[in-house]
Amino acid sequence: MSAGRLLRARDRAATRWRNGGGVTREVAAGPADAGLEDFAWRVSLADVAVGGPFSSFPGVDRIITVVEGPGMELTVDGVAHTVDVPYEPFSFSGDAVTDCRLPGGPLVDFNVMTRRAVATAEVRVAREAFSVVPRRGAVTLVIALTGTATVAGSGVTLDRFDAVLFTDAEAAAVQVDGVTAAVTITSTA
């Protein structure tokens, strides 16, 4: 069993969105030195205070999950979607023209983006213990969305929005007291 690389929420800086409509806090990205134009994958939390257009990310697949607040109404390439159930991931293309309305007010969402030519992502929401299984060519990010999560045998406890990143050779058992997301990103290149 491994403890992975610990990523504390308190260490994340808030940065403005590309379109200026909110702020984001990057949890992790690959490769480690990548920016918004050249990441293979990126995981972040966003504070959404007002509705408006989403930034365009050509060639990128997105998964968004509401983690705090009343939800949002998205229009993705002209098709309306209500995304208001907490902890239920919603997938869409970063190529799509996407607009957001916040009928109930501000929210926080959890974002996973993968450049489709080089990576794919799966988001699993857990409310009970689970295992991180090593998978060649993959990394797994575990993040506590509410309550805590503990990496068994490591002494590592994640508080709200803390995360731990496991490489393809690391395994772990995770105890959950609240809601935790496990994001598995697999290289396709």
Judge residue 79's burial from the number of C-beta atoms within 10 Å of its C-beta, 0-12 exposed, 13-18 middle, 19 or more buried: exposed
Could you tell me if 19 and 110 lie in one domain? yes
Could you tell me if 110 and 127 lie in one domain? no
87 found inside a domain:
yes
Could you tell me if 63 and 141 lie in one domain? no
Give the global pTM: 0.94
Could you tell me if 110 and 17 lie in one domain? yes
DSSP 12: P
- Secondary structure class of 187 (helix, strand, coil): strand
Summary count for the chain: helices (H), strands (E): 0, 17
Could you tell me if 29 and 106 lie in one domain? yes
List pLDDT tens digits, range 77-90.
999 999 999 999 99
Could you tell me if 96 and 40 lie in one domain? yes
Average pLDDT score, the chain: 94
The answer to whether 113 touches 42, Cβ cutoff 8 Å, is: yes
Query: Which residue in this structure is represented by tokens 């058992």?
Result: 173
Quote the domain boundaries for residue 45.
11-115
Report the distance separating Cα 77 and Cα 1, nearest Å.
44
Report the distance separating Cα 91 and Cα 64, nearest Å.
6
Confidence of residue 139 (pLDDT cuts 50, 70, 90): very high
